[in-house]
Structure 1
Amino acid sequence: MGINGVPSWEAKPLVAALGETAVWTVENTMAFDHPFHLHGFFFQVLGADGQPVRPLAWKDTVNVPVDGAARFAVRYDNRPGMWMFHCHILDHADAGMMGMLQVVRQERREAAAGGGGEARGAGRGGPAVRGLG
């Protein structure tokens, strides 16, 4: 199991800048739902139209349905550091369905991005977590 075809122990962290807002897209290609959990930050789930799902609520976990996707907007507020994201079915996380998000100050972002993926702001796209499986 893994995220983006890579088990957690082989994956490089995604990198995001402190104060930035990003829209994540999480796709599920497996035959069962996955509850996707992000540590350290709350987010708002977005509908297919890109608007926040009603009723408005801050979440840290969203269900990603079979052969479906979930989108959410998250602001990397005043908490720099390394944060985990994973399937909340812990057997799946243990099997490799997890990753790390490194939130850095803007001036350190370019240097940090050299070692991993990029969790970009909403204006430039966001991380695509494809193929939970």
Structure 2
Amino acid sequence: MSSDYSISQFDFADIFTDGERLTDFSEIEKITSELYESVSVEQHRHALLDAVNAVVVQLENQVSTGIFCHRGLARSPLVAAALNHFHNESLPQSIARVQALHPRAYFTDISVSALIWCKEQLRNPVIA
């Protein structure tokens, strides 16, 4: 029996819900990646980036992809980061896309900071 799907699992803490919930994204440029770096650990940052890269590969290969997290509300920055990179769009566009796909999803200053951090990492890949 063959399987038509695969599962990838990435574990990182949900620190995003600890941040200030945002509803107005007009001053998003004031948020930097330093906030995410200051409240997260390296291991979890790498897991987030690995997860984003996995979603990007799925999108590049036009593979239907479902993303699950415990609550499904605040880790949506993972999806937004992948969409942002894949579609080469602005952060507000990615956030709007995620909110259209999952209206209950929300963003905090920490999750936007994580988005910015991911965008920086994806822009400057490490050369092995």
Tell whether the structures are fold-level matches, with TM greater than 0.5.
no
TM-score by length of 2: 0.29
